[in-house]
């Protein structure tokens, strides 16, 4: 039985990675998780320069989920390359660097800077709902998404994964747009924009007013969107959104995801990624699947 | 005169005193070997009692007691699958010998996680991760006159600090809303106790700073935990008088282990980890030198 998956020419040991922003660069989780058991580590988004992020409160709990508006706080690409890549490289896992920016130039600068770094894939975040400029500005318009994909592909030496927003009318159209722009893979879904109000203080719970909703509450929405995207494009889909167990991950794979990312569940079950990988393996045994690819998109 | 309210609407659960583990996970290593040393624990409630309106005390049988120090916290989880995130609760007492920790916490409302905790009974399983964060540097008080200051639901962590502190003069200054001065007896067994109440029913009417003034107290080191307006006043007082001051901060958090970057506070200098003027309260704190942070 083969747990390996090939995502845009990069072979992962298993189909499990983490959703950007929920795992730092892995260091904080290394006490709880054997990083060698992840197919890939997807890092917290990194920009060309350090970003301060949003004011606090940055998070709130919601029913079977949470909201965040961290605002892509990050240390900037220089410190990231110096500290985080060497740390992750010690492990037998692939490195996917999530890239954020406020303009096309910002994204391209980071992608170009990473061209000679020892990382395996790039994930371009055009879907963060929590920063005013950039991010989502590219992720809600098919033309803008295609253009930014083309732009970063000019500088990228590693396969490019475009991370899509669910806050769109047609996820299929967005997936097709980035595929047309040259994306080597797509990942989805990022968080759904939400709002929570503190009725005692009579104001917004989050300083940013709105935030991205994540966690098990959004899983059915994510499965539907993964299904629609996977049926719209030929490039691999990395499925995420509320995965908290192997069963949740298998749903995504059967819907069309070639790999899966665990996000919010890391916050309340730090060892969840290993449980998901083990659970996929035992499901494959029980159901007689020889390889992960045999399961991908089986439900049509 | 600084005044602050610890009204019911204030975020008074210690939702921010989450923290990183004392053994830093970013330490250098040669190989990427598995070094899993921590996990979510299925701890057990040893006992529970109500101390005041909305204030509960729980003793927990937990491995976290082995290494916990005053000022650290534990991430406590409900058994309700719709409430995902941990509640960071500061440690009130450590009984290492019997492997138990005490938490004293406030129920923040109906159908909240803390309300669920308050209904738990001896023998119930309570999932937790801890101890987390960096505690108070208790040894720095040696030979000094110290203030140990707590306000509202920031009072409990001051108890274990008081129990462990060896210093020349241990002045415990604690502020409450009213006459429900929970933990007062335990404080009196561990130092000189000065109390302030918002309604003036016990001790000084006002806040902990008012109690210091009224009693003409002096110190050359301060340890404090409480609502942000209180900590802000203490920080100003300490810095004006050149007193070394350690503050335990709070903020809403998600992971509690330094990954999600939810619970940041502003730092005076650029932080080496974040590379911006932000520190993670959970991992780099919750206890900070007052001059390190801007609140």
Q: Same domain for B69 and B208?
A: no
Q: Is the pLDDT of residue B12 over 60?
A: no
How many C-alpha atoms does A55 have within 13 Å on its Cβ side?
A: 8
Instruction: Considering only the beta carbons, identify the residue of B36, B86, B275 that sits closest to A33.
Output: B36
Domain-located, residue B240: yes
Cβ(B64)–Cβ(B42) under 8 Å?
Answer: no
Contact B275 A21 (CB under 8 A): no
DSSP summary character for residue A280: H
Domain-located, residue B213: yes
Average pLDDT, stretch B53-68? 97
Q: Same domain for B183 and B237?
A: yes
Q: Is the pLDDT of residue B30 over 90?
A: no
Contact A24 B9 (CB under 8 A): no
Distance CA A55, CA B262 (A): 9
Residue with tokens 């290494």, as numbered in its chain: B67
What are the b/e assignments for A9-46, b being 16+ CB within 10 Å? ebebbbbbbbbbbbbbbbbbbbbbbbbebbbbbbbbbb
Peptide bond into B286 cis (omega under 30): yes
pLDDT of residue A127: 82
Q: Which of B100, B132, B164 is the last residue of a domain?
A: B132
Q: Could you report the per-residue pLDDT of A194-220, keeping only the tens digit for each?
A: 999 999 999 999 999 999 999 999 999
What are the b/e assignments for B105-115, b being 16+ CB within 10 Å? bbbbeeebbbe
CB-based contacts of A76, cutoff 8 Å, min separation 6 = A46, A47, A48, A49, A50, A51, B275
- % of chain A with per-residue pLDDT over 90: 95
Q: Same domain for B52 and B195?
A: no
Q: Residue count of chain B, please give it.
A: 295
Angle B179-B225-B284 from CA coordinates, rounded to 5°: 160
Residues β-bridged to residue B175:
B151, B196
Q: Same domain for B155 and B290?
A: yes
Q: Same domain for B178 and B122?
A: no
Distance from CA of B213 to the nearest CA of A (A): 32
At B21, is the pLDDT very low, low, confident or very high (cuts 50, 70, 90)?
very low
Distance CA A99, CA A158 (A): 13
Q: Same domain for B72 and B145?
A: no
Q: Is the pLDDT of residue B2 over 60?
A: no
pLDDT of residue A133: 63
Q: Is the pLDDT of residue B131 over 80?
A: yes
DSSP letters for chain B = -------TTS--S-TT-----SS-TT---SS---------EEEEEEEEEEEETTEEEEEEE-GGGGT--TT-EEEE--S-TT--SPEEEE--EEETTTTEEEEEEE--STT-HHHHHHT--TT-EEEEEEEESB---GGGGTTSEEEEEEEGGGSHHHHHHHHH---SEEEEEEEESSS--TTHHHHHTSSEEEEEETTSSSSEES-HHHHHHHTT---SEEEEES-HHHHHHHHHHHHHTT-EEEEE-----SSSSSSS--SEEEESSPPTTTSSSEEETTTT-BEEEGGGEE-
Nearest CA in chain B to A35: B34
Strand B192-197 and strand B204-205: the pairing is parallel
On chain A, the residues whose CB falls within 8 A of the CB of B276 are 50-53, 73, 75
Q: Could you report the per-residue pLDDT of B235-276, keeping only the tens digit for each?
A: 999 999 999 999 999 999 999 999 999 999 999 999 999 999
| Residue B264 contacts A where some CB pair is shorter than 8 Å | yes
Distance CA B199, CA B176 (A): 9
pLDDT of residue B4: 44
Extract the tokens encoding A159.
């396969």
- Interface contacts A/B by beta carbons within 8 Å: 151
| Residue A34 contacts B where some CB pair is shorter than 8 Å | yes
At B26, is the pLDDT very low, low, confident or very high (cuts 50, 70, 90)?
very low
Distance from CA of A177 to the nearest CA of B (A): 31
pLDDT of residue B36: 80
Residue B171: count of CB within 10 angstroms of its CB: 22
Q: Is the pLDDT of residue A178 over 70?
A: yes
Peptide bond into B122 cis (omega under 30): no
pLDDT of residue A211: 95
Instruction: Indicate which of B262, B263, B270, B272 best probes the interface with A, i.e. most A CBs within 10 Å of its own CB.
Output: B262
| Residue B255 contacts A where some CB pair is shorter than 8 Å | yes
Residues β-bridged to residue A39:
none
Distance from CA of B95 to the nearest CA of A (A): 25
At B34, is the pLDDT very low, low, confident or very high (cuts 50, 70, 90)?
confident
Domain-located, residue B253: yes
Distance set, CA A33 to CA A74, A266, B33, B257 (Å): 23, 10, 11, 13
CB-based contacts of A155, cutoff 8 Å, min separation 6 = A108, A111, A112, A115
Residue B76: count of CB within 10 angstroms of its CB: 24
Q: Which CATH number characterizes residue B80's domain?
A: 2.40.30.10
On chain B, the residues whose CB falls within 8 A of the CB of A60 are 252
At A128, is the pLDDT very low, low, confident or very high (cuts 50, 70, 90)?
confident
Contact B85 A267 (CB under 8 A): yes
Instruction: Considering only the beta carbons, identify the residue of B25, B38, B40 that sits closest to A27.
Output: B25
Q: Same domain for B163 and B289?
A: yes
Q: Residue count of chain A, please give it.
A: 300
| Residue B111 contacts A where some CB pair is shorter than 8 Å | no
Q: Is the pLDDT of residue A112 over 70?
A: yes
**In the predicted model, what is the mean pLDDT of chain B?**
90
Instruction: Give the H/E segment covering residue A272.
Output: helix A272-287
Q: Which of B91, B108, B132 is the last residue of a domain?
A: B132
Which residue segment(s) compose the domain that B57 sits in? 41-132
Q: Same domain for B241 and B185?
A: yes
Cβ(B75)–Cβ(B18) under 8 Å?
Answer: yes
Q: Is the pLDDT of residue B29 over 70?
A: no
pLDDT of residue B31: 63
Instruction: For each of the domains in chain A, give its residue range(s) and CATH number, in order of start.
Output: 5-53+72-193+215-294 (3.20.20.70)
Of chain B, the end-to-end C-alpha distance in Å amounts to 18
Q: Could you report the per-residue pLDDT of B76-102, keeping only the tens digit for each?
A: 999 998 999 999 999 999 999 999 999
Domain-located, residue B107: yes
Average pLDDT, stretch A48-65? 96
Distance CA A241, CA A49 (A): 28
pLDDT of residue A136: 72
Extract the tokens encoding A80.
């990231």
| Residue A77 contacts B where some CB pair is shorter than 8 Å | no
Distance CA A258, CA A237 (A): 6
CB-based contacts of A188, cutoff 8 Å, min separation 6 = A127, A163, A164, A165, A166, A171, A175, A222, A225, A226, A229, A237, A238, A239, A240, A241
How many C-alpha atoms does A123 have within 13 Å on its Cβ side?
A: 32
Distance CA B2, CA B119 (A): 37
Nearest CA in chain A to B257: A28
Q: Is the pLDDT of residue B3 over 80?
A: no
pLDDT of residue A44: 96
pLDDT of residue A129: 67
Domain-located, residue B2: no
Instruction: Considering only the beta carbons, identify the residue of A22, A57, A75 that sits closest to B252.
Output: A57
CB-based contacts of B12, cutoff 8 Å, min separation 6 = B6, B106, B108, B152, B153, B227
- % of chain A with per-residue pLDDT over 70: 98
Nearest CA in chain A to B282: A28
Cβ(A84)–Cβ(A113) under 8 Å?
Answer: no
Average pLDDT, stretch A167-179? 97
Average pLDDT, stretch B48-54? 97
Instruction: Considering only the beta carbons, identify the residue of B39, B129, B251 that sits closest to A56.
Output: B251
Domain-located, residue B3: no
Nearest CA in chain A to B20: A28
Q: Same domain for B151 and B283?
A: yes
Instruction: Give the H/E segment covering residue A188.
Output: strand A185-188
Contact B251 A61 (CB under 8 A): no
Nearest CA in chain A to B109: A200
Q: How many structural domains compose chain B?
A: 2
Q: Is the pLDDT of residue A69 over 50?
A: yes
Q: Which of B81, B108, B132 is the last residue of a domain?
A: B132
Which residues of chain A from 116 to 175 reach within 8 Å of chain B, CB to CB?
A: none
Distance from CA of B277 to the nearest CA of A (A): 7
Residue A3: count of CB within 10 angstroms of its CB: 16
Query: Which of A230, A224, A217, A244 is closest to A293 using CA atoms?
Result: A230
Residue A215: count of CB within 10 angstroms of its CB: 26
Q: Same domain for B147 and B285?
A: yes
What ipTM does this complex have?
0.92
Q: Could you report the per-residue pLDDT of A242-251, keeping only the tens digit for each?
A: 999 999 999 9
Instruction: Considering only the beta carbons, identify the residue of A56, A268, A271 that sits closest to B84.
Output: A268
Burial class (CB in 10 A: 0-12, 13-18, 19+), B242: exposed
Q: Which CATH number characterizes residue B274's domain?
A: 3.40.50.80
| Residue A219 contacts B where some CB pair is shorter than 8 Å | no
Q: Same domain for B118 and B144?
A: no
pLDDT of residue A157: 98
Which residues of chain B from 208 to 237 reach within 8 Å of chain A, CB to CB?
A: none
Contact A90 B29 (CB under 8 A): yes
Q: Same domain for B273 and B148?
A: yes
**In the predicted model, what is the mean pLDDT of chain A?**
96
| Residue A245 contacts B where some CB pair is shorter than 8 Å | no
Q: Could you report the per-residue pLDDT of B132-162, keeping only the tens digit for each?
A: 999 999 999 999 999 999 999 999 999 999 9
Domain-located, residue B35: no
How many C-alpha atoms does A223 have within 13 Å on its Cβ side?
A: 19
pLDDT of residue A287: 97
List, by residue number, the catalytic residues of A: 128
Cβ(A160)–Cβ(A183) under 8 Å?
Answer: yes
């Amino acid at each position: 039985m083969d747990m390996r998956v090939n995502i845009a020419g990069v072979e992962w040991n298993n189909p499990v990675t983490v959703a950007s922003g929920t795992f730092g660069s892995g260091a904080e989780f290394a006490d709880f998780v054997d990083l060698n058991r992840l197919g890939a580590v997807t890092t917290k988004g990194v920009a060309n320069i350090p970003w301060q992020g949003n004011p606090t409160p940055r998070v709130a709990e919601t029913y079977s989920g949470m909201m965040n508006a961290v605002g892509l706080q990050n240390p900037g690409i220089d410190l990231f390359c110096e500290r985080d890549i060497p740390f992750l490289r010690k492990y037998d896992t692939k490195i996917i660097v999530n890239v954020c920016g406020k303009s096309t130039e910002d994204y391209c600068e980071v992608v170009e800077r990473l061209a000679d770094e020892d990382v395996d894939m790039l994930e371009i975040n055009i879907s963060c709902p929590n920063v005013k400029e950039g991010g989502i500005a590219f992720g809600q318009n098919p033309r803008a998404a295609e253009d930014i994909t083309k732009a970063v592909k000019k500088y990228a030496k590693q396969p490019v994964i475009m991370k899509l927003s669910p806050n769109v009318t047609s996820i299929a159209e967005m997936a097709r747009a980035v595929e047309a722009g040259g994306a080597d893979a797509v990942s989805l879904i990022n968080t759904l924009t939400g709002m929570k109000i503190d009725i005692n203080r009579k104001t917004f719970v989050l300083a940013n007013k709105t935030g991205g909703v994540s966690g098990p509450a959004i899983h059915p929405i994510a499965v539907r969107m993964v299904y629609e995207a996977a049926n719209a494009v030929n490039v691999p889909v990395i499925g995420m959104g509320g995965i908290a167990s192997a069963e949740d991950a298998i749903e995504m794979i059967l819907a069309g995801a070639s790999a899966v990312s665990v996000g919010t569940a890391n916050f309340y079950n730090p060892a969840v990624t290993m449980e998901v990988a083990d659970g996929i393996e035992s499901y494959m045994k029980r159901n007689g699947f020889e390889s992960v690819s045999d399961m991908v998109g089986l439900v049509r | 005169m600084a005044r602050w309210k610890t009204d019911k609407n204030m975020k008074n659960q210690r939702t921010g005193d989450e923290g990183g583990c004392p053994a830093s996970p970013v330490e250098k290593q040669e190989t990427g070997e598995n070094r899993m040393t921590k996990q979510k624990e299925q701890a057990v409630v040893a006992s529970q009692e109500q101390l005041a309106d909305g204030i509960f005390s729980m003793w927990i049988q937990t491995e976290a007691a082995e290494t916990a120090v005053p000022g650290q916290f534990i991430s406590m989880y409900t058994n309700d699958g719709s409430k995902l995130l941990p509640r960071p609760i500061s440690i009130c007492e450590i009984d290492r010998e019997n492997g138990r920790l005490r938490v004293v916490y406030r129920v923040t409302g109906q159908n909240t996680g803390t309300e669920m905790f308050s209904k738990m009974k001896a023998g119930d399983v309570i999932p937790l991760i801890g101890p987390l964060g960096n505690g108070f540097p208790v040894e720095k008080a040696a030979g000094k006159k110290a203030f140990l200051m707590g306000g509202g639901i920031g009072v409990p962590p001051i108890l274990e600090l008081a129990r462990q502190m060896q210093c020349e003069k241990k002045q415990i200054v604690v502020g409450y809303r009213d006459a429900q001065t929970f933990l007062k007896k335990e404080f009196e067994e561990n130092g000189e106790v000065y109390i302030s109440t918002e309604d003036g029913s016990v001790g000084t009417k006002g806040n902990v700073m008012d109690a210091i003034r009224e009693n003409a107290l002096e110190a050359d080191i301060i340890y404090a935990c409480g609502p942000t307006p209180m900590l802000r006043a203490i920080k100003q007082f300490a810095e004006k008088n050149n007193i070394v001051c350690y503050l335990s901060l709070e903020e809403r958090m998600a992971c509690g282990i330094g990954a999600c970057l939810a619970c940041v506070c502003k730092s005076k200098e650029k932080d080496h980890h974040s590379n911006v003027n932000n520190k993670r309260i959970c991992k780099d704190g919750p206890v900070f030198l007052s001059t390190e942070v801007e609140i």
